[in-house]
Chains A and B, each alone.
Chain A
Amino acid sequence: MKFSARNNNVLPGFGPTMGYTLLYLSLIVLLPLSALVINAAGFTWPEFVAAVTAPRVLASYKVTFGAALAAAGINAVFGLLVAWVLVRYRFPAKRLVDALVDLPFALPTAVAGITLATVYSANGWIGRHLEAHGIKVAFTPLGITVAMTFIGLPFVVRTVQPVIEELDTEIEEAAACLGANRWQTFIKVILPLLIPSLLTGFALAFARGVGEYGSIIFIAGNMPMVSEITPLLIITKLEQYDYRGATAIASVMLGASFVMLLVINLLQKWSRRYAE
């Protein structure tokens, strides 16, 4: 019998599996991503700043980040509510509803895009009623928020739901015994326990919204300066063979995703410590 000394572990295969993992990770993910960073490094600083702060680019950041913030906010409020209702209440077809919450993960973004554009257009099933009240959704920045709300919907529900499931009802009983009404119990006892996971879900939905492309372009109208998102601007530059412009904007987006990834990791660590 052969014992491996590594990790005081009798299991074999650490060397080969780790080797393959690092090789495949480098080839598929790290090397291609570094191509973007290296290409962006070829810019002089003023050139880079000019490329990423042109008025049309700045307008696209405003549209993208603004809509993603609004969508993540909507999802934080309603996602918390959906998670609460799914865990605490009983109603018909609950398991079906629970499973369908993940639809935005499974439905291809192009399908989401065309159906949202149709439903929220001026004569669509929902858009028709909004139009009667003077609210235009499709082909406006509001449409972008609707699409981002759709694709970000599962994140808040799925991060908050397990935390509500684990909540110890004893603390709620204690609060009630001490004279708190239900609303006070929720605001002062339950909500603070949910905040870390709520923020994690918010950040995940926000990050997803910022990078999203497929579900948005059909409903957005894509007017430069008004309803043009940054990912679309990157594609527009590529189609005009402006590779340098596309690279510069993409590297700003990549930087933003790294920052968000860091924030999300910290939030997750916080909520895990909170849970213990």
Chain B
Amino acid sequence: MRSPNNTAHGTSEPAAVRWLLTAIALGFLTLFLFVPLAAVFSQAFEKGLSVYLTALREEDTLAAIKLTLLVAFIAVPLNLVFGVIASWGIAKFSFPGKGLLITLIDLPFSVSPVISGLIYVLIFGRQGWLGPFLEAHDIKIIFAAPGIILATVFVTFPFIARELIPLMESQGRDEEEAAMVLGATGLQTFFRVTLPNIKWGIIYGVILCNARAIGEFGAVSVVSGHIRGTTNTVPLQVEILYNEYNYTAAFAVASLLAFLALITLAVKTIAEWKVQQQLKAE
């Protein structure tokens, strides 16, 4: 054939085609990913570092950061506990209806974020089922932190479970069974055998769950009420600043979230690699 040096000519494309396809793919990613990402940081630092830092030190922004951290601090552990418990029950045992149960756990991913907020308004809102009761007892859930936490727990519900279930299923139960037969208790087996095996899976799930908990916008927007300094999370603060044409401040706050997203991607890539290594080693 024409290219004797190219041993893979039957299973690869000519160099010019390869070059062209790579260029088109990278061009597409540049337009839709790289440029928008770079623009976040460029806009944030447009007026210099001091303006950037002043924007971040604004009182409402600090309040928003505090609220967001509180929300993530409650939502992530709740879903972590659920994820670990559910994946033990689902992955280590066989029972009828397993597929349906996994689909139900995945359900919040298929629901529009706006609907995820709306359902809590229908239950706890003033016109909702429990509205009159809550009002009589002066308990605020909607337009307050509890509603924001509930909506966040809902949208981040599947993250950890859906990562751990396939991982634990692929690891099987031989090691746990051996531990039990050797006299370990159930909890000892879990903490000394299972937990080290799923460590990187947990980290992967937690980091993605955390990113979504901090970044959730639609669901939180419905239940928050947008009260400045009180019920605004960081993403909602970005929206308010942007809508007030305070672009530099909006992008300064947004750059914090973008930075967190990049850290998330880095940790996720490492965790993915570790999980694959572990599965290969078995």
Encode B25-68 as 1/0 by CB contact (under 8 A) with A. 11011011111110110010000000000000000000000000
Given contact pairs A10-B180, A110-B238, A126-B31, A182 touches B258 in the complex (Cβ within 8 A): no
Contact A108 B29 (CB under 8 A): no
By the criterion CB–CB under 8 Å, are A238 and B118 in contact? Answer: yes
Find A107's partner among B113, B118, B251, B261 (CB 8 Å cutoff): B261
Interface: B173 (CB within 8 A): yes
Given contacts A35-B122, A253-B115, contact A84 B93 (CB under 8 A): no
B12, B107, B180, B215: the one contacting A108 at CB < 8 Å is B215
Residues of B contacting A39 with CB < 8 Å? 122
Q: Within 8 Å of chain A (Cβ to Cβ): is B195? A: no
Inside 8 A of B258's CB, which chain A residues have their CB?
Answer: 107, 111
Is B183 touching A1 in the complex (CB atoms < 8 A)?
A: yes
Residue of A nearest to B238 (CB): A110
Would you call B86 and A21 a contact (CB within 8 A)? yes
Query: Counting CB contacts under 8 A, is B231 at the interface?
Result: no
- In the complex, chain A residues whose CB is within 8 Å of the CB of B4: none
Bound complex: CA A39 to CA B154 (Å): 19
Nearest-CB distance from A36 to chain B (Å)? 5
Interface: A144 (CB within 8 A)? no
Q: How many A-B residue pairs have CB under 8 A?
A: 289
Instruction: Tell whether, in the assembled complex, residue B89 and residue A14 are in contact, meaning their CB atoms are under 8 Å apart.
Output: yes
B214/A108 in contact, CB under 8 A: yes
B residues engaging A (CB < 8 A)? 9-14, 17-18, 21-22, 24-26, 28-29, 31-37, 39-40, 43, 82, 85-86, 88-90, 92-95, 101, 103-108, 110-115, 118-123, 125, 127-129, 150, 153-154, 157, 173, 176-177, 180-181, 183, 186, 189-190, 208, 211, 214-218, 221-222, 234-236, 238-239, 242, 247, 250-251, 254, 257-258, 261-262, 264-266, 268-269
Chain A residues within 8 Å of B, Cβ to Cβ: 1, 6-7, 9-14, 17-18, 20-21, 24-25, 28-30, 32-33, 35-36, 39, 78, 81-82, 84-86, 88-89, 91, 97, 99-116, 118-119, 124-126, 146, 149-150, 153, 169, 172-173, 175-177, 182, 207, 210-214, 218, 231-232, 234-235, 238, 241, 243, 246-247, 250, 253-254, 257-258, 260-261, 265
Q: List 27 A-B contacts (CB under 8 A).
A: A10-B181, A11-B173, A14-B89, A17-B86, A20-B85, A21-B89, A25-B104, A78-B24, A81-B21, A91-B22, A100-B34, A100-B37, A101-B29, A104-B33, A108-B215, A111-B215, A118-B247, A118-B251, A125-B35, A175-B10, A207-B110, A211-B115, A213-B114, A231-B115, A250-B114, A254-B112, A257-B111
